């Protein structure tokens, strides 16, 4: 077996166990051992980019390892995909405006929830020009202190056409009572036959 085939075999044996930094350092070590032209040969044998191999060689030549802390970051700080709220600073405010009229929960408790589904919120945000999935809406709501609640009853009766208006009325009355210093009691009842 020639040297390049051996490099490929070693790389394939380790590839699934290495993160990107370890792959870069492996390729750099192979290139250093080969000497002149090693970067090109290792890049062809492993598929690791030449720039990554050169960066790995710089790391190997440095006096001490770059990542000495317990976390051993793979990427430098700030690298990777940016958060949606960093790309779209209006997103959180628009989401809060969508859920605030239909927010439920005990005012004394940090637990809050909304009657709107994640898909509905994602669709409404999309109509406002935001690019966001329902999964990301769920993450943002959790960050804002909302509890993701699912409806348990799906078989019993159809939804009343004024159901949303009913909850908005209850929210309005709750806000009015709280702003005037009055207590609010929430009672959830079930229909028994």
Joined tokens for residue 191: 């229909």
Give the whole-angstrom CA distance, residue 31 versus residue 43.
9
Same domain, 135 and 107: yes
Q: Look at residue 17 and tell me whether its pLDDT is greater than 80.
A: yes
Q: Look at residue 112 and tell me whether its pLDDT is greater than 90.
A: no
Same domain, 88 and 57: no
- Mean predicted lDDT score pLDDT of the chain: 80
Q: Which of 72-76, 85-89, 110-114, 158-162 shows the highest mean pLDDT?
A: 85-89
How many domains are there within the chain? 2
SS3 label, residue 100: helix
Q: What angle do CA 134, 87, 94 make, to 5 degrees?
A: 55
Indicate the pLDDT class of residue 148, thresholds 50, 70 and 90: low
Q: Look at residue 160 and tell me whether its pLDDT is greater than 80.
A: no
Same domain, 8 and 50: yes
Same domain, 91 and 129: yes
Closest CA relative to residue 13, chosen from 1, 23, 3: 23
Joined tokens for residue 94: 């628009």
Residue-wise pLDDT tens digits, 32-58:
999 999 999 999 999 999 999 999 999
Q: Model pTM? A: 0.41
- Report the pLDDT value the prediction gives residue 101, as an integer from 0 to 100: 61
- Report the pLDDT value the prediction gives residue 157, as an integer from 0 to 100: 54
Indicate the pLDDT class of residue 123, thresholds 50, 70 and 90: very high
pLDDT above 90: percentage of residues in the chain: 24
**Strands 113-114, 103-104: parallel, antiparallel or unpaired by DSSP?**
antiparallel
pLDDT above 70: percentage of residues in the chain: 73
85 located within any domain: yes
CA atoms 171, 181, 108, 183: torsion sign = negative
55 located within any domain: yes
Q: Look at residue 169 and tell me whether its pLDDT is greater than 90.
A: no
161 located within any domain: no
Same domain, 54 and 86: no
12 located within any domain: yes
Joined tokens for residue 97: 């405006």
Q: Look at residue 109 and tell me whether its pLDDT is greater than 70.
A: no
Same domain, 90 and 140: yes
Domain membership of residue 45 as a residue range: 3-61
């Amino acid at each position: 077996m020639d040297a390049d085939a051996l490099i490929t075999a070693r790389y394939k044996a380790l590839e699934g166990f290495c993160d990107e930094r370890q792959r870069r350092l492996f390729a750099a070590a192979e290139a250093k051992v080969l000497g002149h032209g090693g970067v090109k040969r290792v890049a062809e044998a492993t598929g690791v980019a030449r720039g990554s191999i050169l960066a790995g060689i710089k790391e190997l030549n440095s006096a001490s390892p770059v990542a000495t802390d317990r976390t051993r970051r793979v990427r430098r700080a700030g690298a990777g995909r940016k958060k949606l709220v960093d790309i779209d600073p209006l997103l959180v405010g628009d989401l809060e405006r969508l859920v605030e009229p239909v927010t439920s929960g005990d005012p004394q408790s940090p637990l809050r929830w909304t009657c709107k589904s994640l898909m509905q919120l994602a669709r409404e945000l999309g109509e406002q020009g935001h690019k966001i999935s329902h999964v990301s809406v769920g993450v943002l709501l959790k960050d804002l202190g909302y509890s993701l609640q699912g409806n348990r009853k799906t078989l019993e009766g159809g939804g009343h056409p004024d159901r949303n208006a009913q909850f908005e009325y209850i929210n309005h009355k709750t806000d009015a009572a709280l702003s005037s210093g009055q207590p609010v009691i929430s009672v959830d009842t079930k229909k028994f036959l």
